Amino acid sequence: MRNLLKEIIEKIKNSKSFLITAHVSLEGDALGSELATYALLRKLKKRVVIYNNDHTPPIYKFLPHSGVIKNVLKEDKFDVAIVLDCSDSSRTGRVKDYLARAKCIINIDHHISNTFFGDINLVDSKASSACQILYRLCDKIEIMDKNIALCLYTGIFTDTGNFTYTNTTKETHRIVANLMHYGVSPRLIYENVHSLCEDKDLKLIGKIISHLKFDASRRICWAIINKWKDKDYDLTEVIFSIMRLLKNVEVLILFKKVDKNKIRVNFRSRPTVDVNRIAQFFGGGGHKSASGTTIEGELAQAERKVISFVKRYTNKLK
Amino acid sequence: MRNLLKEIIEKIKNSKSFLITAHVSLEGDALGSELATYALLRKLKKRVVIYNNDHTPPIYKFLPHSGVIKNVLKEDKFDVAIVLDCSDSSRTGRVKDYLARAKCIINIDHHISNTFFGDINLVDSKASSACQILYRLCDKIEIMDKNIALCLYTGIFTDTGNFTYTNTTKETHRIVANLMHYGVSPRLIYENVHSLCEDKDLKLIGKIISHLKFDASRRICWAIINKWKDKDYDLTEVIFSIMRLLKNVEVLILFKKVDKNKIRVNFRSRPTVDVNRIAQFFGGGGHKSASGTTIEGELAQAERKVISFVKRYTNKLK
């Protein structure tokens, strides 16, 4: 049996220049695993570049070395490309062109849909996060410090929904215990990732929540926002996190008027309902428990159409 | 130096009948530690009664053996009384009378204000929860099973705010890793404890949030509830969990009119501010980052007094 950790360590030790990347739509696990890998390789005195298709969301700029991440690239030759939290190389966006030019691709990921596109594929779909897998590498190579610990903690924390999703295991907590030994502050990371709302935004959210709508069965709940402006942080997630406090509701929907005649519709669900199928019906997509689509037309009309479909869809499941 | 764990184990082994209790206003750590102790003692074939001043909130009825908890008591003589998560014996309410009649009181707690009222006092204010301390006892006595693990997990999970408060340590995660070995489901416990809101309660909370008040510095934020009715679940925690989404706020306060001329005031804070000191000024108490008090008088007057004091107190800290 191949010892993948050993192979990766050998490859790292025998190589000089590294390209690090992750998937488009960067979040905690993508950025945490990239920056932990960066800090690890810098400790080994390697030449390292992090190159991403997308810009770093402001809420993750507290992560150490986040300033080194590039969105344009001059160099184009690397000994090794390390691709993190990516099910497929095309999920790296325009970085894909650079991957082909690296002598070796190391693919470190936890998606069940991973296509094993690397020369070395360290893939474990049972791991909560890419950061959880990366910890095993740091542990084996015996390199850890406060910065690496903070990055790994952030990836694990965000991908497990604060250690509450079903992907949270004994290993997850054991790793986090070890990371905390290096002085990681859970409170600080929580506040950086979650405590982001401006006063007036939270008041607006309060108003939206006070006008929630429900179907007769109380299994479907939706909120409507007449004027939507994108923020530095993700208000959609904040609103859903509050709607999740509801008992027994199975489908959560958010209608946002993003432009004249343009309605963005987001869906979230408990495991009983596949909202990917619902979004697909309206030309969108996503995951089983989180999806979205954009509908042309008036807000009231979009609401009527979607709710009527969701009612029929959930009734069929009974 | 006294070996308290050893003393407690000796005392347990040499005694036959036990009374278990905890503080009034039962929550996750009080009930989790009571029911874990119950399961532990039952495994040792002891006679055990859990007797509480208050009724068990319905949201905690998923805890194993929660049905055995009594609110009236026939027996009145016990070899040992084990008091959990209680800073002072008077915090047990009317159970206090029974404590005096026990041959020995074991006090297991993590409040910094603990008065060491027991014959054996296993008190550690650095522990996240009574459950975290109780784990050490279970570990020493080498008794653990799924039920005990579920109770201890619940107490630790609720008292650390899902592992995000500053009381969360390396030991906390190490213990939780060990508890998960016994098949604890974090998702299930999360939903039992958090996804509880009735439609109309969440709408009311939305209205409260839409009327949040702030001081000029935006460091203090408070909410006011004109009519408060105790619910099956803790709306106070739900409201604070939403207020915690605010950026840069250091003190969160909730004013609830619980009765004519009776205002319950709850405080939560970021680490910069000790709200135990603030609550103490108004005759209450609690922890550094979570405390409360009850003030006699009109709502507007209580608001004025408290906010004025908190402003002066936080200004002094600058």
Contact B210 A211 (CB under 8 A): no
Task: Report pLDDT for A39.
Answer: 98
Task: Report pLDDT for A286.
Answer: 73
Sign of torsion, CA B222 B226 B230 B235?
negative
**Structural tokens at position B37:** 């102790």
Contact A247 B209 (CB under 8 A): no
B154's enclosing H/E stretch is helix B146-159
B251's enclosing H/E stretch is strand B251-259
Contact B206 A211 (CB under 8 A): yes
Nearest-angstrom CA–CA distance, B264 and B67: 30
Contact B206 A203 (CB under 8 A): no
Q: Which of B190, B202, B212 sits opposite A203 (nearest CB)?
A: B212
Contact A212 B197 (CB under 8 A): no
The CATH code that applies to domain A199-317 is: 3.10.310.30
Task: Report pLDDT for A271.
Answer: 76
**Structural tokens at position B296:** 């006699």
Contact B166 A186 (CB under 8 A): yes
Task: Report pLDDT for B96.
Answer: 96
Q: What are phi and psi of B146, to 5 degrees?
A: -60, -40
Q: Which of A168, A197, A205 sits opposite B186 (nearest CB)?
A: A168
The yes or no reply on domain B4-194 and CATH 3.40.30.120 is no
- Map out the domains of chain B as residue ranges: 4-194, 199-317
pLDDT at A230 > cutoff 80: no
One-letter amino acid of A106 = I
Q: What is the DSSP letter of B51?
A: B
Contact B194 A245 (CB under 8 A): yes
Provide, as residue numbers in chain B, all residues whose Cβ is less than 8 Å from the Cβ of A242.
Answer: 202, 206, 242
pLDDT at A231 > cutoff 90: no
User: pLDDT per residue over A241-290, tens digit each?
Assistant: 999 999 989 999 999 999 999 999 999 988 789 998 999 999 988 778 88
Task: Report pLDDT for B1.
Answer: 66
**Structural tokens at position A44:** 């080994």
Provide, as residue numbers in chain B, all residues whose Cβ is less than 8 Å from the Cβ of A173.
Answer: 173-174, 176-177, 180
Contact B162 A164 (CB under 8 A): yes
Contact A187 B164 (CB under 8 A): yes
Burial of A21 (0-12, 13-18, 19+ CB in 10 A): buried
Provide, as residue numbers in chain A, all residues whose Cβ is less than 8 Å from the Cβ of B208.
Answer: 206
User: pLDDT per residue over A127-176, tens digit each?
Assistant: 999 999 999 999 999 999 999 999 999 999 999 989 988 889 999 999 99
pLDDT at A307 > cutoff 70: yes
Contact B210 A207 (CB under 8 A): yes
Q: What is the DSSP letter of B64?
A: T
Q: Which of A199, A218, A235 to mutate to test the interface with B (most CBs of B within 10 A)?
A: A199
**Structural tokens at position B204:** 């009311």
Within 10 angstroms of residue A184's Cβ, the number of other Cβ atoms is 22
Q: What are phi and psi of A158, to 5 degrees?
A: -75, -40
Query: How many helical (H) and strand (E) elements, i.e. helices and strands, does chain B have?
Result: 11, 11
**ipTM exceeds 0.90, yes or no:** no
Angle between helices A186-194 and A146-159 (to 10 degrees): 50
Q: Residues A85-104: what's their mean pLDDT?
A: 94
Contact A206 B206 (CB under 8 A): yes
Task: Report pLDDT for A1.
Answer: 66
Alpha-carbon distances, residue B2 vs A228, B7, B121, B171 (angstroms): 63, 8, 11, 22
**Structural tokens at position A233:** 């942080």
Nearest-angstrom CA–CA distance, A162 and B194: 13
First-to-last C-alpha distance (Å) of chain A = 46
Nearest-angstrom CA–CA distance, A201 and A186: 25
Task: Report pLDDT for A261.
Answer: 93
DSSP string, chain A: ---HHHHHHHHHHT--EEEEEE-SS--HHHHHHHHHHHHHHHHTT-EEEEB-SSPPPGGGTTSTTGGG-BSS-S----SEEEEES-SSGGGGGGGHHHHTTSSEEEEEE--TT----SSEEEE-TTSS-HHHHHHHHHHHHT---HHHHHHHHHHHHHHTTTTTSTT--HHHHHHHHHHHTTT--HHHHHHHHH--B-HHHHHHHHHHHHT-EE-TTSSEEEEEESS----SS-HHHHHHHHHTTBSS--EEEEEEEEETTEEEEEEEE-TT--HHHHHHHTT-EE-SSEEEEEEES-HHHHHHHHHHHHHHHHHHH-
Residue of A nearest to B245 (CA): A195
Q: Which of A181, A197, A208 sits opposite B245 (nearest CB)?
A: A197
Strand bridging mode A262-269 / A47-50: unpaired
Q: Which of A170, A185, A197 sits opposite B177 (nearest CB)?
A: A170
Contact A247 B195 (CB under 8 A): yes
Q: Which of B62, B158, B170 to mutate to test the interface with A (most CBs of A within 10 A)?
A: B170
**Structural tokens at position A12:** 């790292």
- CA nearest A223: which of A203, A237, A239? A239
Share of chain A above pLDDT 90, in %: 81
- CA nearest B79: which of B4, B23, B139, B18? B18
Q: Which of A144, A157, A176, A182 to mutate to test the interface with B (most CBs of B within 10 A)?
A: A176
Provide, as residue numbers in chain B, all residues whose Cβ is less than 8 Å from the Cβ of A243.
Answer: 202
Q: Distance (Å) from the C-alpha of residue B244 to the closest C-alpha of chain A? A: 6
Provide, as residue numbers in chain B, all residues whose Cβ is less than 8 Å from the Cβ of A194.
Answer: 244-245
pLDDT at A312 > cutoff 90: yes
Q: Distance (Å) from the C-alpha of residue B240 to the closest C-alpha of chain A? A: 12
β-sheet with B251-259: strand ranges across: B213-214, B220-225, B251-259, B262-269, B290-296, B285-286
Q: Which of B195, B197, B210 sits opposite A203 (nearest CB)?
A: B210
Share of chain A above pLDDT 70, in %: 98
Strand-pair partners of A221: A214, A252
Q: Which of A169, A206, A212 sits opposite B210 (nearest CB)?
A: A206
Contact B177 A181 (CB under 8 A): no
In three-state secondary structure terms, B286 is: strand
Residuewise pLDDT in 10s, chain B (318 residues)? 689 999 999 999 999 999 999 999 899 999 999 999 999 999 999 999 999 999 999 889 999 999 999 999 988 889 999 999 999 999 999 999 999 999 999 999 999 889 999 999 999 999 999 999 999 999 999 999 999 999 999 999 999 989 998 899 999 999 999 999 999 999 889 988 888 899 999 999 999 999 999 999 999 999 999 888 776 667 888 999 999 999 999 999 999 999 999 999 999 998 789 999 999 999 998 888 889 999 999 999 999 999 999 999 998 876
